[in-house]
Amino acid sequence: MTYDLAGKVALVTGASRGVGAAIAVALAEAGADVACAARSTADAPQRTPGTLDETVARIEAAGRSGLAVPTNLAKPDEVEAMVATTVDHFGRLDVLVNNAAVTFVGDLDIPLKRHEILMAINLTAPLVACHAAAPHLKAAGGGRILNVSSVAALLPIPGLMSYGISKIGLEHLTVDLARILQSDGVAVNCFRIDLAVASEGFIANTPGVDRSTWEPCEVAAEGVLWMLQQQSSYSGRRESMVGLRQREGIMASRAEVASPQGAPTSELFDGLAPDTGTVFQDPYA
């Protein structure tokens, strides 16, 4: 038996744009009501395009109820309030998707303040959200937690040292939570993006890069939805886009130009990587 999302309540972080918005809409199309958390709203937009209001409108166009929950994920008290607001509004919580992340470019030279903000949003916020959500997922009879990671968790990508540290931490959090919550019927999994996906944030961080082989965000959302719909024994899994595509035949490419794909990276890099320049830039520095 698979997990039926119809009538369920989901909470998606980083849902004002990009992969998070695509996941929120995919959940609505599968029959769930969706709370969307991020900072960007119509009244307080960020410099990167996309707002919670726009995502909620797309959810409602799919025939489900949406809720904008403006949240600064760098602040643990706001993360806890995000979960409480969702439960107060919908009366329950069945699915938590920790998608929100920030990327600051830099390796050993990254300013400590930026490193700390990145870790707060990318790693501490998911931990706090899971802690706050767990009682509600249990009360709903078991639920789903899905953490969104990146191939930067496994590979030493120039310019993304702190980002990679946060993502490998998130993957470790996934397998620990799966162990802890298995007796409550809560499945916890990780979806690793290892194909270039044309989110607004990624585009902003890579000016001048050829994007003809990049996938739209909806392709990644298809993989997330597939993982959320598996039975509760499917837990503690760290899946990649490439691996799922090859094994399950899902997430067919919608890129302008098809790119060849070898075996997916599945383990942390071991050895001495080439020290090359970075293609990443801080768009608003």
Residue of 30, 57, 143, 150 whose CA lies nearest to 101: 150
CA dist 239 and 275 (Å) reads 28
Closest CA to 102 of 68, 130, 78, 126: 126
Query: CB count, 10 Å around CB of 48?
Result: 17
Closest by CA to 69, choosing from 101, 100, 29, is 100
Contact 177, 145 (CB under 8 A): yes
Active site residue 163: yes
Q: Three-state SS across 181-250?
A: HHHHCCEEEEEEECCCECCHHHHHHCCCCCCCCCECHHHHHHHHHHHHCCCCCCCCCEEEHHHHHHHHCC
User: Of 3, 163, 234, 284, which one is the catalytic site residue?
Assistant: 163
DSSP 84-151: HHHHHHHS---EEEE-------BSTTS-HHHHHHHHIIIIIHHHHHHHHHHHHHHHTTS-EEEEEEEG
Structure tokens at 12: 């998606």
- List, by residue number, the catalytic residues: 163
